Structures are given as structure tokens and as C-alpha cells.
Amino acid sequence: MATRWQIDRPALGAFLRRRREALSPEGMAPPSTTRRRTPGMRREEVADLAGMSVNYYERLERATGPQPSDAVLDAIARTLRLSDDEIAHLYALAGHGAPRRAPAAHTVDPGLRIALDALAPDTAGLVLGRTGEVLATNVLGAAIFGGMSAGNIVERWFTDRAWRDSLSPPDDQEPTSRAYVADLRASLGGDGDPAAEAFIRRMRTASAQFSDLWDQHEVAVIRAGTKVLLHPRGRLDLECAVLPGQEPGQRLTLFRAAAHTPTAARLPLIAASCGPA
């Protein structure tokens, strides 16, 4: 059940009225035989398309109605063709937490793409989806992670031991495994996404370590920190940061050389030795 807070009836009514008046009835409402006195759609047209009584919808606009349910808000949002930002605002005015948006499959968040393309040559970047799928990377990111410009970084970590050993020192592997699984728990949040649930089932079958860690129910989002990675050109001491995007679950993970380490000289050489990602 969704969490509810106090409803702001006057603001909700005004918002609904303004959005209704701004929506053209062409192609949505049946042709009218009478002249329209007001712009936009009529209340009865919105109510009919949203599957509710005219009286109920009118009371919402007049700030005298009950607190609407998630289902009612969803129907109104679809009828009024609200944007994601407007939907979040609608839910807030109605006293609800914003609905969780479905992730856009394999579509890179535009803001994260701009940030990725603007990275300095000595900064590695990967755009990851909510279950660890690699959606985009720059040249240095692909080079550091062993050509990981596609696929799923979490899945490969737990199922490709040779790649994992080539990338991470032995002492770092257990903490990294725990961090990946705890971050997955935090990212998915038990929201019932079928694709995510299928991924978890596949991982539990493919990796006993993953299954054991999943059963421990540790929850922690991966944020800024430090990381040691292995590379043919030498050890890489890296500072890491994670920037969330607007698309649900997408994040840009950044890696740059830790201060006062030989890594600063190694990263440009690694990038120069590789072709485009």
C-alpha cells in the first residue's frame, strides 16, 4: 500500500483544472455538437476517459473531494497526458509518494550521455542500468574493465572467474561481491519488476556465492569511494563517484586516478592504446 501524507485540495484542484484546460480535445473527446465556452477538455470528458463519475472528478477540481487512490491518480495522469514531472507533482499534491517509473530498456539517460561524452580523457565512465547492465561507456572505461562495453557487469563478476581475477586483487573481491549484491537490493527495492526478478533468479542459479549473499538481505547503495583495479599496465588506484540519472535506476559511475599515485600517468596511456568504445 502506498504511503499517504496530507492532501492539498486547493492546489490539487487548481492543478487539475489548469492541465485539463491546456489539453486539446481533438483526437481525445468525441466531436461536440455544441460550441465550447472554455478552452481544453470538459470535466465530463476527462471523467469519462478516466473511468470515473463526473461528480467525483468535479469534486476533485473544486477541492471538496476525498483523497484519491493511486489507481485514480494513474487514470487521471494518463487522461491528461501528464509528463513524468507533472505526475510526481500530482501525486505529491494528492498526498502520495511519487510512483516508481518503469525503467527504459537499453535507453541511455540523455543527461548521463552528455556527462559521459564530456569526460576528460583520463576519467573512465560507465552508464549502468539498475541490475548492472552496461548501457554505455567511454574508451577508458571499456579499457579498464576488460572491453566491458556491453553485457552485465554484475553477472560477469559472479560468473566469469578469470575476468574477475584479472580485474580485482584477491582481498577486494569479497567486499566487492557484497557491495554489488547489497546495491542490487537497494536498487530493486522489492518493486516486483518482472525483468529484475528474472535476473535475480538467473543469478541465483548461476552463482552460489550470489545466492548466499542475496539471502543475507544486506542493503547499501554504492556511492563515492576508492577502488583498486588490476591492469596489464599496472595497478590502478582510483577515486570513484556515482551520479544518478533521470531514467529509473540508471547511474554514471566515474573513475579517476587517486591523488599522488602512479595511476595518473597510466590512465592516459591506457586510453591512447585503445580504439573507440
pTM of the model as a whole: 0.67
- Evaluated on CA atoms 100, 111, 257, 235, the torsion sign reads positive
Tens digit of each residue's pLDDT (9 = 90 or more) over 168-221:
999 999 999 999 999 999 888 766 678 888 999 999 999 999 999 999 999 999
Q: CA 37: distance to chain centroid?
A: 43
Grid coordinates belonging to 251 = 547511474
User: What is 193-235 written as a DSSP string?
Assistant: -HHHHHHHHHHHHH-HHHHHHHTTT------SEEEEE--TT--
Tens digit of each residue's pLDDT (9 = 90 or more) over 229-272:
999 999 999 999 999 988 878 999 999 999 999 999 999 888 88
